[in-house]
Homo-oligomer: A and B are copies of this chain.
Amino acid sequence: MAGTNSERVLLAEGPAVILVEPQLGENIGMVARAMANFGLSELRLVNPRDGWPSEKARSAAAKADHVIDGTRVFETLEEAIADLNFVYATTARERYGYKPVRAPVVAAQTLRAKFTAGEGTGILFGRERWGLTNEEVALADEIVTFPVNPAFASLNIAQAVLLMSYEWMKSGLKDLTDVAFQPLEQSPATKEQLFGLFDFVEEALDARGYFRPEGKKPKMIDNLRAVLTRRAFTEQEISILRGVFATFDRYSRKNPRGSAGAGAGKGADGADDGADGE
């Protein structure tokens, strides 16, 4: 479920999203949610068909109340962008004009640079059914369009806002490969640890007659070591594997771990090798 969490940063800045004559409150709400997901907060509506405020919008916003509460309504697009310095128009259709056409990645970087420099910025989105008029596009500085499937190009309004909001968020990342959380810390195993595993497994297999015929033993060992080397195991993984092999080595189905006769055949080596795994 969506929701605010007081311990986490609520990003709420960036370009204004301007919806021109949106029809359905649900769509406005989904736009607000998409904006909130990626840190945008300023929503402006030009002449929304069903009026404002809208309970349907608030409900669809899934608790993006800070966006809904701050939404402002204007009668004309000109009024809605009067205080801004730089505005993009989004469009899926080819427009025959001289205005520069940008990819979302480029548009987001441009918006980030201008926003950081203190300019008022905005992104225009058209009506659900037929987008922006040419006259409305003419009020923008540049056009942004999405790299869509040529034969299936129509994005709904909340999806278009989502993609621009997402690119806005990405434009603020130092590194596009950044992720919000990391796997548990692991150290690559040393060769000594790996060789210890080889020895352990090979001895246990040898004791069970695995290497037959004797002449094939060198090749079989090569193959086994290739399997155990290929993944570049971490220390933790080596430990888990030792635990697994130790379990096979020490216990049987008849005398499992914890049973009276279990573990009698082996010494101290590997006794705490993490047989509980993971």
Q: Which residues of A contact B (CB under 8 A)?
A: 1-6, 8-11, 33-34, 36-39, 62-64, 94-103, 105-106, 129, 143, 145-156, 158-159, 162-163, 166, 169-170, 173, 176-184, 186, 234, 236-237
Q: Are B178 and A103 in contact (CB under 8 A)?
A: yes
For residue A165, which residue of chain B has the nearest CB? B149
Q: Which residues of B contact A3 (CB under 8 A)?
A: 152, 154
Q: Which residues of B contact A34 (CB under 8 A)?
A: 159
Q: How far is the CA of A146 from the CA of B186 in the complex (A)?
A: 23
29 pairs from A and B in contact (CB 8 Å cutoff) = A3-B152, A5-B151, A8-B150, A8-B151, A8-B153, A11-B149, A11-B152, A34-B159, A36-B152, A37-B159, A39-B149, A63-B152, A94-B181, A95-B181, A98-B237, A101-B181, A103-B179, A105-B176, A106-B177, A146-B166, A147-B166, A147-B173, A147-B178, A147-B179, A150-B180, A162-B163, A163-B163, A163-B166, A166-B166
Q: Are B94 and A11 in contact (CB under 8 A)?
A: no
- Taking a contact as CB atoms closer than 8 A, the residue among B4, B39, B100, B129 that contacts A183 in the complex is B100
For residue A10, which residue of chain B has the nearest CB? B151
For residue A159, which residue of chain B has the nearest CB? B162
- Given A103-B176, A162-B159, A179-B101, CB of A37 within 8 Å of CB of B149: yes
For residue A130, which residue of chain B has the nearest CB? B1
Q: How far is the CA of A153 from the CA of B39 in the complex (A)?
A: 10
- Given A103-B178, A170-B147, A186-B98, CB of A2 within 8 Å of CB of B38: no
Q: How far is the CA of A106 from the CA of B158 in the complex (A)?
A: 25
- Taking a contact as CB atoms closer than 8 A, the residue among B38, B129, B154, B173 that contacts A149 in the complex is B38
Q: Are A2 and B37 in contact (CB under 8 A)?
A: no
Q: Are B234 and A98 in contact (CB under 8 A)?
A: yes
Q: How far is the CA of A94 from the CA of B134 in the complex (A)?
A: 45
Q: Which residues of B contact A155 (CB under 8 A)?
A: 37
Q: Are A150 and B183 in contact (CB under 8 A)?
A: no
Q: Are B10 and A180 in contact (CB under 8 A)?
A: no
For residue A128, which residue of chain B has the nearest CB? B1
Q: Are A150 and B103 in contact (CB under 8 A)?
A: no
Q: How far is the CA of A82 from the CA of B64 in the complex (A)?
A: 39
- Taking a contact as CB atoms closer than 8 A, the residue among B143, B152, B176, B180 that contacts A94 in the complex is B180
- Given A178-B147, A181-B145, A184-B96, CB of A154 within 8 Å of CB of B234: no
Q: Which of A10, A154, A158, A179 is most buried by chain B, counting CB atoms within 10 A of its CB? A: A179
- Taking a contact as CB atoms closer than 8 A, the residue among B2, B11, B98, B176 that contacts A150 in the complex is B11
Q: How far is the CB of A104 from chain B (nearest CB, A)?
A: 9
Q: How far is the CB of A110 from chain B (nearest CB, A)?
A: 11
Q: How far is the CB of A186 from chain B (nearest CB, A)?
A: 6
